[in-house]
Chains A and B, each alone.
Chain A
Amino acid sequence: MRLWIKIRNVFRRDALNAELEEEMRLHLEEAVASGRDAMEARRAFGNFINTREAAQSVKLAVWLDNLMSDFVFASRQLRKNKVASVAAIVSLGLAIGACTSSFRLIDALLFRPLPVADADRLRVMTMSFTDLEGREDYTDSFNYPLFRELRHALKDQAAVIGLGYTGRQDITFGSDDEIERAHRQHVSGWTFEAFGLRPAVGRLFTENDDLKPNAHPVAVLAHDYWRRRFGGDPKVIGKTFRMGKTLFEIVGVGPEGYAGTETGTPADFFIPMMMEGEAIHEAGLSWFRAWVAPHPGASVELIRQRSEGIVRAHRQERVKGWPAGAPKARVAAYVNTRLELRPATAGYSSAQKRYRTALGILGVLVGLVLVITCANIANLMTAQAAARAREMALRVSIGAGRLRLIQLVLAESALLALCASVLGFGFALWSAPAVMSRINPPDNPLRLALPSDERVFFFMTALAFVVTVTFGLFPALRASSVRPVSALKGGESPHSKRRLMHALVAVQAAFCFVVHFTAGLFLASFDRLSNQPLGFSADRVLSLQASSLDNAPPEAFEQIVAHLRSLPGVEAAGISGFPLLSGSGWSNDVHVNGAPPHVVAPYFLAVSPEWLATMKVPLLAGRDFRNEDAYPRVAIVNESFAKRYFDGENPVGRTFEKDGGRNTSKRTRMEIVGYVKDARYRDMREPIRPTIYVPFRSVDEKGAPVGTQRASFVVRTDSGNPLAMASILRKAVPASRSEFRVSGILTQRELVELHTLRERLLALLGTFFAMLALVLAGVGLYGVLDYSVLQRRREIGIRMALGAPPADLAWRVSAGIFSMLIVGSGAGIALGLLSERYLEKLVFGVKVTDWWMLATPAAIIFAAAIGAATVPIARAMRVDPATMVRAE
């Protein structure tokens, strides 16, 4: 009722007391004035303090007042032990900050629902397959004819929505010279309606915007892009931009907060699916995801079964067009795919798939570091509680209740946790975006919305609460259970407290071990992966993605590459269909000596003459391509190819037949003219596949040149920093052929590093957490040993006086701790081995069970422990028996 006034009164307590005093003084004066004896009147008033307390108990919220004074006392306590408090707050702050940071990332990538209606019902269709190494995997790519069948068949149970992969495109708003890059997403016309979205300006698409191939050049802007690019100008409606050859008209702006469905890659604008006109009737092109929004009451499992049936029937039809020689197992696996409807409440992206486990494991590591920190602080508090046993005993003697004591000690923990949370919040504010920016390549970073909203607030509050209880409750219970008689007499048995501290040391050792072990695995994996032989030299190499407005003849490309070679600073240049390790790939079945194709189809790459020299792929035998060579007549193959098909003999002069593709059984005979060493093509993890290089110049059956629209120019510069030449090269391409544009320039080094990005992140963060855990565990160990030396100095003094050798004393002081370390490490090893299943996918080139992977962390922890133990043991050695015994 009057709670508010009572709470407010807590904060104006002094004024309240002054008023009270004044009132009473007046009362006494009047009493005396009316003839009462001054002493008697004062006595009638009783104890002034009692009266004041009685008034306060009426006027104040007593619980709050107690709590306040507990906090004031706690802050005094914390300030008394400045060094320990700062260390505790900083370490806890780092741990809480790291936890919050992980939470923000994990939440943003995996759990934060899309800002659409009923996001929790949304699903994405995936189809299982077995990859070439025999691992189960799944794909989410669909082709349009199949999608159409699915949509039609499921229309009573669910809305089936096509949503493209969000990708960067070159667009121009004004003149063609000002190319901008923006992220595009293809969407089905009915997407916005199904998602319950409303336009901020203009209109959104409807089904009528998505009817006929290439007939709807309209675009909707994402709200964020609209604000960034156009400053939120509503007159943007009706403006046009050009992408490729098509002019798109902006018809509307989406609602605030919605930026497509690709979590981590926000879309800037949306265009109808139909604008990918060439792909609409092509069952061979898989290029978007199929989303399912089940109608209320529809059974997800029924939808799944139905869809699976349709997909299998569709594939049954498709394999009829395959060449007769296709391996049976491959056909069966293709047809009998398992369709799944994966929850997509938080959006759906490949970043989620790639980083789910990695972030989860980092989250666990961070949690372990937090536990180690908590154990440290619990030890600190326990030691302090022991030092304060007399104070507590005194409090009990003068009538403090147990709950009140627990509250007193918990207030200290809570204050610590609060300070640490503030620090941690700041740390998370900085670290979450810093980590996020390392998740994808620097020029196209992962972009997650990382708001510090109520989700983060709740998480931090819960965390601070849990942390307070974790490290505070036990010392508080202990402190409050003090028995005044024995405490005031000179101390209880110190052993009980040391047992708890020893147990905490074991926990710290175990968790520290797990953190180190995991970090070691990540570090080794990163090391192995980044030292994988490439087979080519990535240094000083730039690759320029160039495209012309229309199909250009091979001569145009050759003219450009000749121009590039003539530039100063260019050492060598060549052309390839796409750069090595860019993620693009082309594989095709081949027949050697009429044999059926191998399960793993070889890779193909179109390259120009001198490409091999530019990339420094060594020629083993035969020759490089010449200008008159043309696809599909000649080929250069690698060692793996020779190994698989020609028993490792020099294949120059031999021939093979390339399958004509899935819709024809026509084969093309190609002659091997060159033989090169293995080079990485697409992936750093897989064994190097047989690879066939074919001439970039391509001719049709009649020998006429075939034009193409895009290619990569690969340039080796002679300066250490190839990017210094980027702007010169960017201008050189259109200077040579004006119909060409450079859409992107990457160093080959970046392309290589892309493949170790996740491993690098894991190694970096793993090492950071390992160091943190080690320092914390070392500090904790030091604290416990130091405390136990302090507690036992009487015993040590007596032993010394009786002539115990120093080694014996050192052993007595530290034996308990080191046996706990052994127990802890043992538990750590067990935990490490159990984690194999979760780490397997993230580890490369090392086995969880490698003995040195287990031995190294143990050695590090023991070394740190010995380092931490030196000072307290030395202190024990310096105990002066005479002083000690006299002190008693």
Chain B
Amino acid sequence: MPKPDSLQGSLDLLILKILKGRPGLHGYALMVAIKEFSDDVLRVEEGSLYPALHRLEMDGSVKAAWITRAGTGRRARTYELTAHGRKQLAAEESRWQTVTAAVNRVLRMA
């Protein structure tokens, strides 16, 4: 079972969104990217990031590839969106907009 997470649901969205803009990131870079884009507000734990990535991989939303890095000769596992992932992202994004808009409305009204 995946761990319950404060970012549950939105984590997938963040990963997909970042991978769309910057395909070919590996896990660590992705973690750093989330941190940077969110101005240090959102921090993903390693224990959540990798299961989420693997889940998306099994869904077929992202696909992974091993690339050998020039210089070090080490392999890194990089991720990029698939066609299915792009559709998934659009759906997730619009859902997120709807939900946040609704939450904002409630906050304004009450």
Contact = CB atoms under 8 A, between A and B. Distances in A.
Contacts of B76: 23, 26
Interface string A44-69: 11100011001101110000000000
Nearest to A44: B46
A218 to B, nearest CB: 66
Contact of B27 (A1, A27, A50, A59): A27
A245 interface: no
B74 interface: yes
A5 B57 CA distance: 11
Given A46-B45, A46-B46, A58-B2, A23 B59 contact: no
Given A2-B58, A22-B77, A24-B50, A54 B28 contact: no
A57 B1 contact: yes
A50 B1 contact: no
Q: Name the residue among B3, B26, B50, B57 with the largest chain A CB count within 10 angstroms.
A: B50
A51 B54 CA distance: 11
Interface string B40-77: 00000111001100110111100000100000001111
B50 A5 contact: no
A855 B75 CA distance: 81
B44 to A, nearest CB: 10
Contact of A55 (B26, B51, B66): B51
A19 interface: yes
A59 B54 CA distance: 7
A50 B3 CA distance: 11
A50 B47 contact: yes
A58 B55 CA distance: 6
B28 A30 contact: yes
Chain B interface secondary structure, helix, strand, loop or mixed? Answer: helix
A31 interface: yes
Interface string A622-647: 00000000000000000000000000
**Interface magnitude class on chain A:** 20 to 34
Nearest to A33: B28
Given A2-B60, A58-B54, A23 B77 contact: yes
A45 B2 CA distance: 15
A510 to B, nearest CB: 50
Given A44-B45, A55-B50, A58-B51, A26 B28 contact: yes
A6 B60 CA distance: 13
A46 B50 CA distance: 12
B47 A54 contact: yes
A42 to B, nearest CB: 10
A5 B47 contact: no
**Interface magnitude class on chain B:** 20 to 34
A382 B26 CA distance: 53
B28 A6 contact: no
Contact of A26 (B2, B26, B47, B58): B26
A784 B32 CA distance: 67
B58 A6 contact: yes
B55 to A, nearest CB: 5
A265 to B, nearest CB: 60
B58 A5 contact: yes
A54 B51 contact: yes
Nearest to B45: A44
A1 B55 CA distance: 13
A45 B58 contact: no
A1 B57 CA distance: 12
Given A57-B1, A58-B54, A46 B77 contact: no
A57 B60 CA distance: 16
Contacts of A46: 45-47
Contacts of B55: 58
Contact of B28 (A1, A31, A58): A31
Nearest to A54: B51
A59 B58 contact: yes
B2 A51 contact: no
B50 to A, nearest CB: 6
A23 B51 CA distance: 12
Contact of B74 (A24, A26, A50, A58): A26
A786 to B, nearest CB: 46
Nearest to B76: A26
A607 to B, nearest CB: 90
Contacts of B74: 26
A5 B74 CA distance: 27
Nearest to B29: A30
Contacts of B77: 19, 22-23, 26
Nearest to B59: A2
A51 B47 contact: yes
A46 B5 CA distance: 14
A50 B50 CA distance: 12
Contacts of B28: 26-27, 30-31
Nearest to A25: B74
Nearest to A27: B28
30 contacts: A2-B58, A2-B60, A5-B58, A6-B58, A22-B77, A23-B27, A23-B50, A23-B77, A24-B46, A26-B28, A27-B26, A27-B27, A27-B46, A30-B29, A31-B28, A44-B45, A51-B46, A51-B51, A54-B3, A54-B50, A55-B50, A55-B51, A55-B54, A57-B2, A58-B2, A58-B51, A58-B54, A58-B58, A59-B54, A59-B58
Interface of A: 1-2, 5-6, 19, 22-24, 26-27, 30-31, 34, 44-46, 50-51, 54-55, 57-59
Going nearest first, the 3 A-B pairs with the smallest beta carbon separation are A46-B47, A30-B28, A54-B51
